[in-house]
Amino acid sequence: MGAAIPNRITVGIFGGSGYSGRELSRWLSRHPRARVEFSTGSAAPHIPHEDGLSRRVDVYFLCLPHVTSAAYVEKLRKAQPRSLIVDLSGDLRLRTEASYKRWYEHDHGAPALLAQAVFGLTEVFRADIPGAKLISNPGCYATSAMLPLLPLIKDGLVDSEDIIVDAKSGASGAGRSLREDLLFCEVEGNFSIYSQGRRHRHIGEIEETIERCTGVRPVLTFSPHLLPVERGILSAIYVRTPRSVDELRSALARYYEGAPFVRLVDSAPKLKDVNHTNLCLMSVHEGAPGRAIVVSALDNLVKGASGQAIQNMNVALGFDETEGLL
């Protein structure tokens, strides 16, 4: 017999003053079973970050920068081994030290954790999540690319070595750190590409995760862009395929049948269709002969961060996957 499903749970948020932490607080305040016991950060100066380590709760969400996050995970795993930890940073998304070093350009501070975390792309790893004690929440861009690409690569429907992910994100994707390129006058009325080439860390996360699930390592050309809006990610994914648009659509519809937050739609989704929701909407369109365009849209702060984190908590603890998220 499995463990009893708790009726009420207590929650702590590290980094509750950041963009994803604030969003998480808002969603959790509407969750019927969760009570936020503490939230750390400059928005709650009476609880310094370290003080959260001595607070005992059922679930810890870490909305901290990478490196800092892994250090907190290590301490929490020792201090509160029975609690669930959901890490929103990139620290535990890659499987090996070598891979982490390649994409983050420094050594991992707590490499033993890499093999211990369940990867929380909920729709794909749902079977591994119930009962997990450590969940690594996927990246926002990575979620928007992996959800549409994974089923198509798994079924061998697209050329895995000829994939272009042309992705655009609102400025909240970069967090609230003070950077000149994120100042209002730089972002407003502007539009720019960044991290050109094989530099963006989410490339590693997408390629490695898809390989783990399908046995095929895709090779991506990934171009992130900064949109002059607050939130949302729209990815146009260009694939080479001998299959028709209908066949690609059917494969996606089959894979996500019954998934409450991933939906196939006829017209290309827009940011306003997904913002402030935990949805990922996707559509498929004809490209040049032998090519197709797959479009996906999600809110980077919800399905790309806090919403998916709550979805993972729900599945880990045996709650309905949609609790507090509709």
Size of the site for ligand NAP (CB under 6 A): 29
Minimum CB distance to ligand NAP smaller for 40 or for 83: 40
Residue list 24-63, contact with ligand NAP (CB under 6 A): 41-42, 49, 63
Which residue in the shown chain puts its C-beta closest to ligand NAP?
A: 18
Exposed e or buried b for every residue in 73-93, given b needs 16+ CB within 10 A?
A: beebbeebeebbbbbbbbbbb
Choice from 304, 314, 315, 317 touching ligand NAP (CB under 6 A): 304
Minimum CB distance to ligand NAP smaller for 58 or for 87: 87
| Inter-CA distances, 290 with 153, 155, 198, 240, Å | 16, 17, 25, 6
In whole angstroms, what is the distance from residue 198 CA to residue 248 CA?
Answer: 27
| Chain centroid to CA 94 | 13
The residue annotated as part of the active site, out of 140, 185, 213, 280, is 140
Choice from 109, 111, 175, 228 touching ligand NAP (CB under 6 A): 175
Minimum CB distance to ligand NAP smaller for 57 or for 86: 86
Choice from 172, 275, 283, 311 touching ligand NAP (CB under 6 A): 172
Minimum CB distance to ligand NAP smaller for 80 or for 169: 169
| Inter-CA distances, 216 with 55, 203, 325, Å | 43, 15, 33
In whole angstroms, what is the distance from residue 288 CA to residue 238 CA?
Answer: 10
In whole angstroms, what is the distance from residue 66 CA to residue 109 CA?
Answer: 10
Q: How far is the CB of 304 from ligand NAP (least distance, A)?
A: 5
Bridge-based pairing of strands 118-119 and 134-136 is parallel
Choice from 176, 240, 276, 285 touching ligand NAP (CB under 6 A): 176
Could you confirm whether 140 is annotated as catalytic?
A: yes
Q: How far is the CB of 88 from ligand NAP (least distance, A)?
A: 4
Residue list 62-121, contact with ligand NAP (CB under 6 A): 63-66, 68-69, 88-90
Q: How far is the CB of 137 from ligand NAP (least distance, A)?
A: 7
In whole angstroms, what is the distance from residue 65 CA to residue 322 CA?
Answer: 27
Q: How far is the CB of 171 from ligand NAP (least distance, A)?
A: 9
Residues that bind ligand NAP (CB under 6 A): 15, 17-21, 41-42, 49, 63-66, 68-69, 88-90, 139-140, 172-173, 175-177, 300-301, 304-305
Residues annotated catalytic, as ranges: 140
